[in-house]
Amino acid sequence: MGGHEDALLEDEASPITALNATECALLDRARHFRREVVAPLVAGERMGGTSLTEPGAGSDFPAIATTARKVEGGWLLDGENVWLTNAAFGEIILLYAQTDSAPETKGFALFPIDTNAPGFERLKIH
């Protein structure tokens, strides 16, 4: 339903992971996340959605193939999801991506995606 291949996110859209959630609470990016993502969703000003299901993995979380790689200026997301919650009209999609594929790591993160941002595309499934 939505593609995000090679979408570049600015540093302010840094992922929130279980390992750095406490640290993020003390940093500006956490305040930005609460102000720009959480507050509009809670207030009903923007519609949200979730992006987890992939063509080859379904909703098998450990099998997610979408990747997120830190690059200068932000994060580069590469992958494809199908069956996004509120895909037709969601304005902020919470996307899960692998940040490290090593089996001994917990290399997954959650990225808030503004569907008005460059690189986001809604596709119909036929």
Does 126 reside within a domain? no
Does 62 reside within a domain? yes
What token pair was written down for 4?
A: 């995000």
pLDDT at residue number 29: 67
Does 125 reside within a domain? no
Does 122 reside within a domain? no
Domain count, the chain: 1
CATH of the domain at 109: 2.40.110.10
Q: How far apart are CA 83 and CA 51, in angstroms?
A: 8
Does 96 reside within a domain? yes
Q: Sign of the CA dihedral 6, 47, 13, 17? A: negative
Q: How far apart are CA 12 and CA 81, in angstroms?
A: 23
Does 13 reside within a domain? yes
Q: Digits of tens for pLDDT over the chain (126 positions)?
A: 444 444 444 444 555 554 454 455 445 667 778 888 888 888 889 898 888 778 877 777 778 888 888 888 888 888 888 777 887 888 988 888 888 766 656 688 888 888 888 877 887 776
pLDDT at residue number 14: 53
Does 107 reside within a domain? yes
pLDDT at residue number 1: 43
What's the domain range around 66? 2-117
Does 110 reside within a domain? yes
* Alpha-carbon distances of 74 from 14, 40, 50, 104, rounded to whole Å: 7, 23, 21, 25
